[in-house]
């Protein structure tokens, strides 16, 4: 997989077992958030990640705070407390079976630029704009 993760501060490898997900590995999260991700959980009915179960090649949540207003969860609240404002989920599949997903998240604290992520086949690219928090300038 070709990957450039400039500006990505947080990430996870999430496994899908039965009807639940849980993190097998994480990077950058506070202990409270990491614990929440490692404990098996079901997706909410309004979770955009449900699209991965339906075969979508990736899911991007560019505005985590706006999403929290529409479909609040304790995991989303914890993620917002870290200052995370955008998340990208890329599925891990064998044939059409969803085995899990990777996530890459950015916060408002990082510098200007773009984070670029490619899927395993290298044919889906997404560029996540990284902005500067005006309070940090």
- Sort residue 90 into left (φ over 0), alpha (ψ -120 to 50) or beta: beta
**Entry pTM:** 0.70
Least confident interval from 9-13, 24-28, 69-73: 69-73
**pLDDT in the model for residue 52:** 94
Q: What is the CATH number of domain 9-107?
A: 3.30.450.40
pLDDT in tens, 55-99: 999 999 887 777 666 666 666 776 677 777 788 999 999 998 999
DSSP state of 38: H
Least confident interval from 6-10, 42-46, 76-80, 133-137: 133-137
Upper half-sphere CA count for residue 60 (Cβ side, 13 Å):
13
Q: Enumerate long-range contacts of 28-31, CB under 8 Å, 24 or more apart.
A: 29/82, 30/78, 30/81, 30/82
Both structure tokens of 76:
């989303």
Contacts with 116 (C-beta within 8 Å, 6 or more apart), sequence order: 4, 6, 125, 126, 127, 128
Q: Which of 50-54, 79-83, 105-109, 129-133 has the highest mean pLDDT?
A: 50-54
Between residues 118 and 97, which one has the greater pLDDT?
97
């Amino acid at each position: 997989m070709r990957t450039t993760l400039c500006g990505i501060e947080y990430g996870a490898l999430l496994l899908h077992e039965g009807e639940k997900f849980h993190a097998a590995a994480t990077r950058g999260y506070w202990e409270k958030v990491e614990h929440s991700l490692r404990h098996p959980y079901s997706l909410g009915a309004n979770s955009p990640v449900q699209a991965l179960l339906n075969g979508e090649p990736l899911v991007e949540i560019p505005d985590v705070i706006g999403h929290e207003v529409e479909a609040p969860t304790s995991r989303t609240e914890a993620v917002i407390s870290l200052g995370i404002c955008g998340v990208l989920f890329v599925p891990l599949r064998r044939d059409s079976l969803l085995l899990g997903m990777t996530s890459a998240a950015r916060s408002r604290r990082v510098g200007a630029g773009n984070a670029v992520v490619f899927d395993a086949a290298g044919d889906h690219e997404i560029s996540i704009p990284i902005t500067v928090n005006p309070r940090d300038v």
